[in-house]
Structure 1
Amino acid sequence: MTARNLSYTVTGPVRSDLGAAIRAAVRGNAEAFLRPPIANLGHRGIATAARRVTGWLERAGDPPRDLALAATLMEHGGTGGALFRTMYHEFLAECCAVVDDANLRVAHHMYGEIAPLWTEVAQAVAAAGATGDAAHLAHAAATLTDLAERERRAMQALAEVRPGLPLHD
Protein backbone atom coordinates (compact mmCIF):
# COMPACT_ATOMS: atom_id res chain seq x y z
CA MET A 1 0.00 0.00 0.00
CA THR A 2 1.30 3.48 -0.82
CA ALA A 3 0.52 6.85 0.64
CA ARG A 4 -1.57 9.17 -1.52
CA ASN A 5 -0.35 12.59 -2.51
CA LEU A 6 3.02 12.09 -0.93
CA SER A 7 6.04 13.81 -2.42
CA TYR A 8 9.59 14.51 -1.41
CA THR A 9 12.11 17.08 -2.44
CA VAL A 10 15.64 15.80 -2.23
CA THR A 11 18.50 18.21 -2.28
CA GLY A 12 22.10 17.30 -2.12
CA PRO A 13 24.84 19.10 -0.32
CA VAL A 14 27.19 21.36 -2.24
CA ARG A 15 27.78 20.26 -5.80
CA SER A 16 30.86 18.03 -5.98
CA ASP A 17 33.88 18.86 -8.09
CA LEU A 18 33.66 16.42 -11.02
CA GLY A 19 37.39 16.58 -11.72
CA ALA A 20 38.27 15.71 -8.15
CA ALA A 21 35.71 12.88 -8.19
CA ILE A 22 37.19 11.48 -11.40
CA ARG A 23 40.71 11.64 -10.01
CA ALA A 24 39.67 9.85 -6.82
CA ALA A 25 37.67 7.22 -8.73
CA VAL A 26 40.37 6.27 -11.23
CA ARG A 27 43.04 6.21 -8.53
CA GLY A 28 40.87 4.02 -6.29
CA ASN A 29 40.02 1.64 -9.13
CA ALA A 30 43.68 1.39 -10.08
CA GLU A 31 44.72 0.61 -6.52
CA ALA A 32 42.12 -2.18 -6.31
CA PHE A 33 43.30 -3.62 -9.63
CA LEU A 34 46.97 -3.44 -8.69
CA ARG A 35 46.52 -4.95 -5.22
CA PRO A 36 43.68 -7.47 -5.48
CA PRO A 37 42.77 -9.41 -2.35
CA ILE A 38 42.92 -12.75 -4.20
CA ALA A 39 44.89 -14.05 -7.19
CA ASN A 40 41.82 -14.30 -9.44
CA LEU A 41 41.35 -10.52 -9.71
CA GLY A 42 43.22 -7.68 -11.39
CA HIS A 43 46.42 -8.22 -13.31
CA ARG A 44 47.14 -11.24 -11.11
CA GLY A 45 43.87 -12.80 -12.27
CA ILE A 46 44.78 -12.23 -15.90
CA ALA A 47 48.17 -13.86 -15.31
CA THR A 48 46.43 -16.77 -13.57
CA ALA A 49 44.12 -17.19 -16.58
CA ALA A 50 47.16 -17.14 -18.88
CA ARG A 51 48.69 -20.04 -16.96
CA ARG A 52 45.47 -22.06 -16.94
CA VAL A 53 43.91 -21.43 -20.35
CA THR A 54 46.10 -24.00 -22.11
CA GLY A 55 44.33 -26.77 -20.19
CA TRP A 56 40.79 -25.72 -21.06
CA LEU A 57 40.33 -28.31 -23.83
CA GLU A 58 41.03 -31.12 -21.37
CA ARG A 59 38.99 -29.57 -18.55
CA ALA A 60 35.89 -28.77 -20.59
CA GLY A 61 33.09 -31.31 -20.54
CA ASP A 62 31.98 -30.26 -24.03
CA PRO A 63 34.81 -28.18 -25.52
CA PRO A 64 32.91 -26.81 -28.55
CA ARG A 65 30.07 -25.61 -26.33
CA ASP A 66 32.08 -24.65 -23.25
CA LEU A 67 34.86 -22.74 -25.00
CA ALA A 68 32.37 -20.96 -27.27
CA LEU A 69 30.50 -19.87 -24.14
CA ALA A 70 33.71 -18.70 -22.45
CA ALA A 71 34.62 -16.72 -25.58
CA THR A 72 31.17 -15.16 -25.76
CA LEU A 73 31.39 -14.09 -22.13
CA MET A 74 34.83 -12.57 -22.72
CA GLU A 75 33.64 -10.64 -25.73
CA HIS A 76 30.08 -9.71 -24.82
CA GLY A 77 29.39 -10.60 -21.22
CA GLY A 78 30.33 -10.26 -17.63
CA THR A 79 33.84 -11.63 -17.37
CA GLY A 80 35.51 -8.26 -17.76
CA GLY A 81 37.18 -8.99 -21.11
CA ALA A 82 36.73 -7.01 -24.32
CA LEU A 83 33.33 -5.60 -23.39
CA PHE A 84 34.47 -3.95 -20.18
CA ARG A 85 37.85 -2.84 -21.55
CA THR A 86 36.07 -1.08 -24.40
CA MET A 87 33.68 0.57 -21.95
CA TYR A 88 36.59 1.56 -19.70
CA HIS A 89 38.44 3.06 -22.67
CA GLU A 90 35.36 5.15 -23.48
CA PHE A 91 34.99 6.14 -19.81
CA LEU A 92 38.61 7.29 -19.74
CA ALA A 93 37.98 9.36 -22.89
CA GLU A 94 35.19 11.15 -21.04
CA CYS A 95 37.47 11.61 -18.04
CA CYS A 96 40.15 13.16 -20.26
CA ALA A 97 37.60 15.73 -21.44
CA VAL A 98 37.21 16.90 -17.82
CA VAL A 99 40.63 16.27 -16.26
CA ASP A 100 43.93 17.38 -17.79
CA ASP A 101 46.42 14.76 -16.62
CA ALA A 102 49.17 13.08 -18.65
CA ASN A 103 48.78 9.75 -16.81
CA LEU A 104 45.06 9.71 -17.55
CA ARG A 105 45.77 10.28 -21.25
CA VAL A 106 48.40 7.53 -21.25
CA ALA A 107 46.00 5.03 -19.68
CA HIS A 108 43.24 6.02 -22.11
CA HIS A 109 45.59 5.35 -25.03
CA MET A 110 46.71 2.04 -23.52
CA TYR A 111 43.14 0.81 -23.05
CA GLY A 112 42.51 1.61 -26.70
CA GLU A 113 45.21 -0.97 -27.48
CA ILE A 114 44.16 -3.40 -24.74
CA ALA A 115 40.49 -3.85 -25.68
CA PRO A 116 41.12 -5.40 -29.13
CA LEU A 117 43.58 -7.86 -27.60
CA TRP A 118 40.76 -9.22 -25.44
CA THR A 119 38.78 -9.78 -28.64
CA GLU A 120 41.79 -11.68 -29.97
CA VAL A 121 41.82 -13.87 -26.84
CA ALA A 122 38.10 -14.58 -27.18
CA GLN A 123 38.53 -15.52 -30.85
CA ALA A 124 41.40 -17.87 -29.99
CA VAL A 125 39.37 -19.57 -27.26
CA ALA A 126 36.40 -19.99 -29.62
CA ALA A 127 38.68 -21.37 -32.35
CA ALA A 128 40.14 -23.90 -29.91
CA GLY A 129 36.66 -25.09 -29.04
CA ALA A 130 35.59 -25.31 -32.67
CA THR A 131 38.71 -27.11 -33.91
CA GLY A 132 40.07 -28.91 -30.85
CA ASP A 133 43.47 -27.39 -31.66
CA ALA A 134 45.36 -26.48 -28.49
CA ALA A 135 47.61 -24.09 -30.46
CA HIS A 136 44.77 -21.56 -30.27
CA LEU A 137 44.87 -21.77 -26.47
CA ALA A 138 48.65 -21.32 -26.52
CA HIS A 139 48.05 -18.12 -28.49
CA ALA A 140 45.39 -17.05 -25.98
CA ALA A 141 47.84 -17.73 -23.13
CA ALA A 142 50.57 -15.62 -24.73
CA THR A 143 48.13 -12.78 -25.35
CA LEU A 144 46.79 -12.97 -21.79
CA THR A 145 50.35 -12.81 -20.45
CA ASP A 146 50.90 -9.68 -22.52
CA LEU A 147 47.55 -8.26 -21.36
CA ALA A 148 48.37 -8.80 -17.69
CA GLU A 149 51.47 -6.63 -18.07
CA ARG A 150 49.80 -4.01 -20.28
CA GLU A 151 46.91 -3.64 -17.86
CA ARG A 152 49.26 -3.47 -14.89
CA ARG A 153 51.11 -0.60 -16.59
CA ALA A 154 47.88 1.18 -17.56
CA MET A 155 46.55 0.93 -14.02
CA GLN A 156 49.89 2.07 -12.64
CA ALA A 157 49.50 5.20 -14.77
CA LEU A 158 46.01 5.71 -13.35
CA ALA A 159 47.29 5.21 -9.81
CA GLU A 160 49.66 8.11 -10.50
CA VAL A 161 46.95 10.53 -11.64
CA ARG A 162 47.50 13.70 -9.63
CA PRO A 163 45.08 13.97 -6.73
CA GLY A 164 42.65 16.82 -7.09
CA LEU A 165 41.24 19.11 -4.52
CA PRO A 166 39.25 17.38 -1.78
CA LEU A 167 35.61 16.77 -2.63
CA HIS A 168 33.18 19.21 -1.08
CA ASP A 169 31.24 17.97 1.94
Structure 2
Amino acid sequence: MKFIIEDFKPSGGKHCITNALKQLFAYYQHPLSEAMLFGVGSGLAFTYINLAASPMVSGRSKPIEFEQILAERLKINSKYRQPKNYQVCLTKTKKLLQQKQPVLIYTDMPFMNYLGLDPHSHFGGHAVVLFGYDDQQEVFYVSDRDNSDYPIRTPKGDIASDYHLVSYQEMEQARSSSFRPFPANNKYFEFDFSSYEEPQTDMIITAIKDTCESMLRPPAKLLGINGIVKFSQEIVKWKKFDQKKLQTAGVTNYFQISKDGGTGGGIFRKLYGEFLLEADQLIPDRGLTAVGTGFIKLADEWDAVAEELWTLGNTGDAEMLPALSEQLSALASTERHLLEHLEALVTETYETQKS
Protein backbone atom coordinates (compact mmCIF):
# COMPACT_ATOMS: atom_id res chain seq x y z
CA MET A 1 0.00 0.00 0.00
CA LYS A 2 1.07 3.57 -0.72
CA PHE A 3 -0.38 6.59 1.04
CA ILE A 4 0.70 10.25 0.87
CA ILE A 5 -1.08 13.18 2.52
CA GLU A 6 -1.44 15.31 -0.59
CA ASP A 7 -2.50 18.47 1.27
CA PHE A 8 0.65 18.49 3.40
CA LYS A 9 3.19 21.02 2.11
CA PRO A 10 6.79 20.43 3.25
CA SER A 11 8.75 23.57 4.07
CA GLY A 12 12.23 24.32 5.34
CA GLY A 13 13.13 26.17 8.51
CA LYS A 14 15.59 27.26 11.14
CA HIS A 15 15.23 24.64 13.88
CA CYS A 16 14.04 21.05 13.62
CA ILE A 17 11.29 21.13 16.25
CA THR A 18 9.90 24.58 15.51
CA ASN A 19 9.99 23.83 11.79
CA ALA A 20 8.20 20.51 12.27
CA LEU A 21 5.57 22.27 14.39
CA LYS A 22 5.31 25.15 11.91
CA GLN A 23 4.42 22.67 9.17
CA LEU A 24 1.76 21.00 11.32
CA PHE A 25 0.26 24.37 12.33
CA ALA A 26 0.10 25.37 8.66
CA TYR A 27 -1.47 22.02 7.70
CA TYR A 28 -4.20 22.50 10.31
CA GLN A 29 -4.72 26.10 9.08
CA HIS A 30 -3.30 27.88 12.11
CA PRO A 31 -0.03 29.25 10.73
CA LEU A 32 2.53 30.65 13.17
CA SER A 33 6.15 31.57 12.63
CA GLU A 34 8.96 29.53 14.13
CA ALA A 35 9.89 32.54 16.26
CA MET A 36 6.39 32.83 17.75
CA LEU A 37 6.26 29.08 18.43
CA PHE A 38 9.66 29.23 20.09
CA GLY A 39 8.75 32.18 22.31
CA VAL A 40 5.28 31.02 23.33
CA GLY A 41 6.76 27.67 24.33
CA SER A 42 9.45 29.43 26.43
CA GLY A 43 12.10 27.74 24.32
CA LEU A 44 15.07 29.93 25.24
CA ALA A 45 17.43 28.28 27.74
CA PHE A 46 21.06 27.38 28.35
CA THR A 47 22.67 24.20 29.61
CA TYR A 48 26.30 23.18 29.90
CA ILE A 49 26.44 19.38 29.52
CA ASN A 50 29.51 17.35 30.44
CA LEU A 51 29.66 14.28 28.21
CA ALA A 52 32.51 11.78 27.92
CA ALA A 53 33.20 12.41 24.23
CA SER A 54 32.94 16.20 24.51
CA PRO A 55 31.31 18.92 26.61
CA MET A 56 28.22 20.27 24.87
CA VAL A 57 26.08 23.35 25.31
CA SER A 58 22.39 23.69 24.52
CA GLY A 59 20.49 26.93 24.05
CA ARG A 60 16.93 25.68 24.17
CA SER A 61 14.62 24.00 26.66
CA LYS A 62 14.21 20.24 26.85
CA PRO A 63 12.65 18.33 23.95
CA ILE A 64 9.12 17.08 24.75
CA GLU A 65 8.78 19.56 27.62
CA PHE A 66 8.85 22.46 25.15
CA GLU A 67 6.19 20.90 22.92
CA GLN A 68 3.93 20.15 25.88
CA ILE A 69 4.16 23.70 27.27
CA LEU A 70 3.46 25.17 23.82
CA ALA A 71 0.42 22.93 23.29
CA GLU A 72 -0.95 23.72 26.75
CA ARG A 73 -0.71 27.47 26.21
CA LEU A 74 -2.34 27.34 22.80
CA LYS A 75 -5.09 24.97 24.04
CA ILE A 76 -3.99 22.17 21.72
CA ASN A 77 -4.73 18.66 22.92
CA SER A 78 -1.38 16.87 22.66
CA LYS A 79 -0.67 13.22 23.29
CA TYR A 80 2.94 12.23 23.82
CA ARG A 81 3.61 8.61 22.91
CA GLN A 82 6.59 6.35 23.52
CA PRO A 83 5.80 2.71 22.66
CA LYS A 84 8.36 0.21 23.92
CA ASN A 85 7.88 -1.94 20.84
CA TYR A 86 8.79 -0.47 17.43
CA GLN A 87 6.19 -2.58 15.60
CA VAL A 88 3.47 -0.97 17.72
CA CYS A 89 4.97 2.41 16.84
CA LEU A 90 5.04 1.53 13.13
CA THR A 91 1.45 0.31 13.05
CA LYS A 92 0.17 3.40 14.86
CA THR A 93 2.16 5.73 12.60
CA LYS A 94 0.69 4.23 9.44
CA LYS A 95 -2.81 4.42 10.91
CA LEU A 96 -2.41 8.12 11.69
CA LEU A 97 -1.11 8.79 8.18
CA GLN A 98 -4.08 6.95 6.67
CA GLN A 99 -6.30 9.29 8.74
CA LYS A 100 -4.49 12.21 7.05
CA GLN A 101 -2.62 13.19 10.20
CA PRO A 102 1.06 14.03 9.60
CA VAL A 103 3.16 12.66 12.46
CA LEU A 104 5.87 14.57 14.34
CA ILE A 105 8.50 12.00 15.32
CA TYR A 106 11.95 12.02 16.92
CA THR A 107 14.99 10.41 15.32
CA ASP A 108 18.64 9.76 16.12
CA MET A 109 20.42 11.92 13.55
CA PRO A 110 23.31 9.70 12.34
CA PHE A 111 20.78 7.01 11.33
CA MET A 112 19.16 9.49 8.91
CA ASN A 113 21.66 8.86 6.13
CA TYR A 114 20.83 12.00 4.12
CA LEU A 115 22.34 14.10 6.95
CA GLY A 116 25.77 12.53 6.37
CA LEU A 117 26.77 12.59 10.05
CA ASP A 118 29.48 10.71 11.88
CA PRO A 119 27.92 7.38 13.01
CA HIS A 120 28.87 8.12 16.63
CA SER A 121 27.38 11.65 16.78
CA HIS A 122 24.14 10.54 18.39
CA PHE A 123 21.30 12.96 19.09
CA GLY A 124 17.85 11.43 19.39
CA GLY A 125 15.89 14.67 19.80
CA HIS A 126 15.84 15.51 16.08
CA ALA A 127 12.25 16.19 15.03
CA VAL A 128 10.91 15.52 11.53
CA VAL A 129 7.43 15.06 10.05
CA LEU A 130 6.20 11.89 8.35
CA PHE A 131 3.54 12.55 5.72
CA GLY A 132 3.43 9.34 3.72
CA TYR A 133 4.70 5.82 3.13
CA ASP A 134 5.09 3.26 0.37
CA ASP A 135 5.04 -0.43 1.30
CA GLN A 136 6.27 -1.54 -2.12
CA GLN A 137 9.41 0.61 -2.00
CA GLU A 138 9.53 0.28 1.80
CA VAL A 139 10.08 4.00 2.38
CA PHE A 140 8.62 6.82 4.43
CA TYR A 141 8.10 10.35 3.10
CA VAL A 142 9.96 12.65 5.49
CA SER A 143 10.03 16.43 5.77
CA ASP A 144 13.12 17.73 7.58
CA ARG A 145 14.14 21.38 7.88
CA ASP A 146 15.86 21.54 4.50
CA ASN A 147 13.85 22.41 1.39
CA SER A 148 14.50 23.24 -2.27
CA ASP A 149 14.50 26.94 -1.33
CA TYR A 150 16.09 26.41 2.09
CA PRO A 151 19.45 24.60 1.94
CA ILE A 152 21.06 23.48 5.18
CA ARG A 153 24.69 22.64 5.84
CA THR A 154 25.76 19.09 6.69
CA PRO A 155 29.28 17.66 7.12
CA LYS A 156 29.09 16.35 3.55
CA GLY A 157 27.76 19.58 2.02
CA ASP A 158 24.46 21.39 1.62
CA ILE A 159 21.19 19.50 1.25
CA ALA A 160 18.02 21.08 -0.10
CA SER A 161 15.23 18.55 -0.71
CA ASP A 162 11.52 19.18 -0.37
CA TYR A 163 11.31 15.74 1.21
CA HIS A 164 13.39 12.63 1.78
CA LEU A 165 12.58 8.99 1.15
CA VAL A 166 13.82 7.03 4.15
CA SER A 167 13.85 3.24 4.12
CA TYR A 168 11.87 1.28 6.67
CA GLN A 169 15.09 -0.23 8.04
CA GLU A 170 16.75 3.17 8.38
CA MET A 171 13.68 4.63 10.06
CA GLU A 172 13.47 1.80 12.57
CA GLN A 173 17.09 2.39 13.57
CA ALA A 174 16.54 6.14 13.85
CA ARG A 175 13.28 5.97 15.82
CA SER A 176 14.06 3.08 18.16
CA SER A 177 17.59 4.24 19.01
CA SER A 178 18.37 4.41 22.73
CA PHE A 179 21.67 6.27 22.34
CA ARG A 180 22.19 9.35 24.51
CA PRO A 181 21.82 12.28 24.65
CA PHE A 182 18.04 12.52 24.33
CA PRO A 183 17.40 8.93 23.14
CA ALA A 184 14.70 8.74 20.44
CA ASN A 185 13.02 5.64 21.96
CA ASN A 186 10.07 5.67 19.50
CA LYS A 187 8.81 9.07 20.70
CA TYR A 188 6.12 10.88 18.74
CA PHE A 189 3.22 13.30 19.23
CA GLU A 190 -0.44 13.39 18.27
CA PHE A 191 -2.11 16.81 18.11
CA ASP A 192 -5.76 17.88 18.12
CA PHE A 193 -6.22 21.55 17.12
CA SER A 194 -10.00 21.67 17.60
CA SER A 195 -9.79 23.93 20.70
CA TYR A 196 -6.81 26.00 19.48
CA GLU A 197 -6.46 29.62 20.67
CA GLU A 198 -4.32 32.26 18.96
CA PRO A 199 -1.43 33.79 20.95
CA GLN A 200 -2.72 36.59 23.17
CA THR A 201 -1.22 39.21 25.45
CA ASP A 202 -1.54 37.24 28.69
CA MET A 203 -0.05 34.17 27.04
CA ILE A 204 2.92 36.15 25.74
CA ILE A 205 3.56 37.75 29.13
CA THR A 206 3.45 34.37 30.88
CA ALA A 207 5.84 32.86 28.35
CA ILE A 208 8.34 35.70 28.70
CA LYS A 209 8.16 35.72 32.50
CA ASP A 210 8.82 31.96 32.59
CA THR A 211 11.85 32.36 30.31
CA CYS A 212 13.28 35.17 32.42
CA GLU A 213 12.74 33.20 35.62
CA SER A 214 14.45 30.05 34.34
CA MET A 215 17.38 31.97 32.86
CA LEU A 216 17.98 34.43 35.71
CA ARG A 217 17.20 32.15 38.65
CA PRO A 218 18.00 28.60 37.49
CA PRO A 219 17.99 25.70 39.95
CA ALA A 220 21.56 24.61 39.07
CA LYS A 221 24.92 26.12 38.14
CA LEU A 222 24.90 24.40 34.75
CA LEU A 223 21.68 26.15 33.71
CA GLY A 224 20.61 29.61 32.54
CA ILE A 225 22.96 32.55 32.96
CA ASN A 226 24.82 30.49 35.57
CA GLY A 227 25.44 27.92 32.85
CA ILE A 228 26.96 30.50 30.51
CA VAL A 229 29.26 31.63 33.33
CA LYS A 230 30.11 27.96 33.94
CA PHE A 231 30.89 27.55 30.23
CA SER A 232 33.27 30.51 30.40
CA GLN A 233 35.05 28.89 33.35
CA GLU A 234 35.10 25.33 32.03
CA ILE A 235 36.36 26.15 28.55
CA VAL A 236 39.77 27.11 29.98
CA LYS A 237 40.01 23.60 31.44
CA TRP A 238 39.69 22.12 27.96
CA LYS A 239 43.47 22.61 27.68
CA LYS A 240 43.72 19.25 29.53
CA PHE A 241 41.98 17.48 26.63
CA ASP A 242 44.00 15.52 24.10
CA GLN A 243 44.10 16.91 20.59
CA LYS A 244 41.24 14.80 19.27
CA LYS A 245 38.86 15.62 22.13
CA LEU A 246 39.70 19.32 21.95
CA GLN A 247 38.91 19.39 18.25
CA THR A 248 35.71 17.41 18.81
CA ALA A 249 34.66 19.91 21.48
CA GLY A 250 35.25 22.78 19.09
CA VAL A 251 33.24 21.33 16.22
CA THR A 252 30.46 19.98 18.47
CA ASN A 253 29.83 23.33 20.07
CA TYR A 254 30.12 25.19 16.78
CA PHE A 255 27.06 23.27 15.61
CA GLN A 256 25.30 23.78 18.97
CA ILE A 257 25.61 27.55 18.53
CA SER A 258 25.62 28.25 14.79
CA LYS A 259 22.58 28.32 12.51
CA ASP A 260 24.26 25.41 10.67
CA GLY A 261 23.32 23.26 13.64
CA GLY A 262 19.68 24.33 13.48
CA THR A 263 19.61 27.06 16.12
CA GLY A 264 18.40 29.85 13.86
CA GLY A 265 21.67 31.65 14.67
CA GLY A 266 23.47 32.60 17.89
CA ILE A 267 22.39 29.56 19.94
CA PHE A 268 18.68 30.44 19.47
CA ARG A 269 19.15 34.07 20.59
CA LYS A 270 18.26 35.37 17.12
CA LEU A 271 15.07 33.32 17.07
CA TYR A 272 14.12 34.71 20.49
CA GLY A 273 14.84 38.25 19.36
CA GLU A 274 12.55 37.72 16.36
CA PHE A 275 9.86 36.46 18.73
CA LEU A 276 10.09 39.66 20.77
CA LEU A 277 9.77 41.76 17.60
CA GLU A 278 6.58 39.85 16.73
CA ALA A 279 5.33 40.07 20.32
CA ASP A 280 5.64 43.84 20.12
CA GLN A 281 2.72 43.75 17.68
CA LEU A 282 0.55 42.19 20.41
CA ILE A 283 1.98 44.24 23.28
CA PRO A 284 2.91 47.56 21.61
CA ASP A 285 4.72 50.49 23.16
CA ARG A 286 6.32 48.42 25.92
CA GLY A 287 9.89 48.36 24.63
CA LEU A 288 9.93 44.78 23.34
CA THR A 289 11.36 45.84 19.98
CA ALA A 290 14.45 47.32 21.63
CA VAL A 291 15.07 44.16 23.66
CA GLY A 292 14.41 41.98 20.62
CA THR A 293 16.96 43.96 18.65
CA GLY A 294 19.35 43.50 21.56
CA PHE A 295 18.93 39.73 21.40
CA ILE A 296 19.57 39.72 17.65
CA LYS A 297 22.80 41.66 18.23
CA LEU A 298 23.67 39.23 21.03
CA ALA A 299 23.14 36.37 18.58
CA ASP A 300 25.78 37.89 16.29
CA GLU A 301 28.23 37.88 19.22
CA TRP A 302 27.43 34.24 19.95
CA ASP A 303 28.02 33.45 16.27
CA ALA A 304 31.45 35.07 16.53
CA VAL A 305 32.22 32.62 19.36
CA ALA A 306 30.95 29.79 17.17
CA GLU A 307 33.39 30.76 14.40
CA GLU A 308 36.23 30.67 16.93
CA LEU A 309 35.09 27.21 18.02
CA TRP A 310 35.10 26.09 14.38
CA THR A 311 38.72 27.22 14.15
CA LEU A 312 39.46 25.38 17.39
CA GLY A 313 37.91 22.27 15.87
CA ASN A 314 40.19 22.53 12.86
CA THR A 315 43.40 23.46 14.66
CA GLY A 316 43.14 22.10 18.20
CA ASP A 317 44.93 25.25 19.34
CA ALA A 318 44.55 25.40 23.13
CA GLU A 319 46.00 28.93 23.12
CA MET A 320 42.57 30.13 21.94
CA LEU A 321 40.82 29.09 25.17
CA PRO A 322 41.53 32.07 27.48
CA ALA A 323 40.20 34.57 24.91
CA LEU A 324 37.10 32.42 24.37
CA SER A 325 36.56 32.38 28.12
CA GLU A 326 36.58 36.18 28.23
CA GLN A 327 34.15 36.40 25.31
CA LEU A 328 31.73 34.02 27.02
CA SER A 329 31.93 35.88 30.32
CA ALA A 330 31.03 39.10 28.51
CA LEU A 331 28.11 37.36 26.76
CA ALA A 332 26.78 36.19 30.13
CA SER A 333 26.79 39.78 31.42
CA THR A 334 25.09 41.14 28.30
CA GLU A 335 22.44 38.43 28.33
CA ARG A 336 21.74 38.92 32.04
CA HIS A 337 21.19 42.64 31.45
CA LEU A 338 18.80 41.98 28.54
CA LEU A 339 16.78 39.46 30.52
CA GLU A 340 16.56 41.68 33.61
CA HIS A 341 15.32 44.55 31.43
CA LEU A 342 12.85 42.27 29.67
CA GLU A 343 11.52 40.92 32.97
CA ALA A 344 10.98 44.45 34.24
CA LEU A 345 9.06 45.39 31.08
CA VAL A 346 6.64 42.46 31.19
CA THR A 347 6.18 42.76 34.96
CA GLU A 348 5.20 46.39 34.51
CA THR A 349 2.82 45.42 31.70
CA TYR A 350 1.26 42.71 33.87
CA GLU A 351 0.79 45.08 36.82
CA THR A 352 -0.73 47.74 34.54
CA GLN A 353 -3.24 45.22 33.19
CA LYS A 354 -4.25 44.17 36.70
CA SER A 355 -4.83 47.75 37.90
TM-score range, shorter chain: 0.7 to 0.9
- The number of residue pairs the alignment matches comes to 160
Given the alignment of the two structures, is residue 20 of structure 1 paired with residue 202 of structure 2, yes or no? Answer: yes
Given the alignment of the two structures, is residue 40 of structure 1 paired with residue 222 of structure 2, yes or no? Answer: yes
Partner secondary structure for residue 220 of structure 2? coil
Given the alignment of the two structures, is residue 50 of structure 1 paired with residue 232 of structure 2, yes or no? Answer: yes
Partner secondary structure for residue 247 of structure 2? helix
1:120-158 per-position Cα deviation (integer Å, ceiling 9, x unaligned): 111112222322323322222111101111111111112
1:45-78 per-position Cα deviation (integer Å, ceiling 9, x unaligned): 0001001112224235612233212212221447
Per-residue deviation at 1:9? 9.5
Corresponding residue number in structure 1 for 2:277: 93
Of structures 1 and 2, the one with the larger relative CO (CA 8 A, separation 6+) is: 1
Given the alignment of the two structures, is residue 69 of structure 1 paired with residue 252 of structure 2, yes or no? Answer: yes
Partner secondary structure for residue 102 of structure 1? coil
Corresponding residue number in structure 1 for 2:341: 157
Residues 57, 128 of structure 1: 8 Å contact kept: no
Partner secondary structure for residue 145 of structure 1? helix
Residues 120, 140 of structure 1: 8 Å contact kept: no
Query: 2:235 is matched by which residue type in structure 1?
Result: V
Distance 1:119 1:64 in 2: 18
Distance 2:207 2:227 in 1: 21
Unaligned 5+ residue runs, structure 2?
1-91, 96-191
Distance 1:144 1:95 in 2: 28
Given the alignment of the two structures, is residue 116 of structure 1 paired with residue 300 of structure 2, yes or no? Answer: yes
1:92-116 per-position Cα deviation (integer Å, ceiling 9, x unaligned): 1111122124342332121021101
Which structure has the highest helix share of the two?
1
Which structure has the highest strand share of the two?
2
Distance 2:323 2:247 in 1: 17
Residues 33, 43 of structure 1: 8 Å contact kept: yes
Among the aligned pairs, what percent are the same residue?
27
Residues 106, 154 of structure 1: 8 Å contact kept: no
| Residue from 331, 336, 350 that aligns with 1:147 | 331
TM-score, with length taken from structure 2: 0.40
Q: CA RMSD in A?
A: 2.9
Corresponding residue number in structure 2 for 1:31: 213
Q: 1:9 to 1:118 in 2, by over 3 A?
A: closer
TM-score, with length taken from structure 1: 0.79
Distance 2:230 2:199 in 1: 38
Residues 127, 136 of structure 1: 8 Å contact kept: no
Query: 1:102 is matched by which residue type in structure 2?
Result: R
Corresponding residue number in structure 1 for 2:148: none
Residues 110, 150 of structure 1: 8 Å contact kept: no
Distance 2:275 2:193 in 1: 31
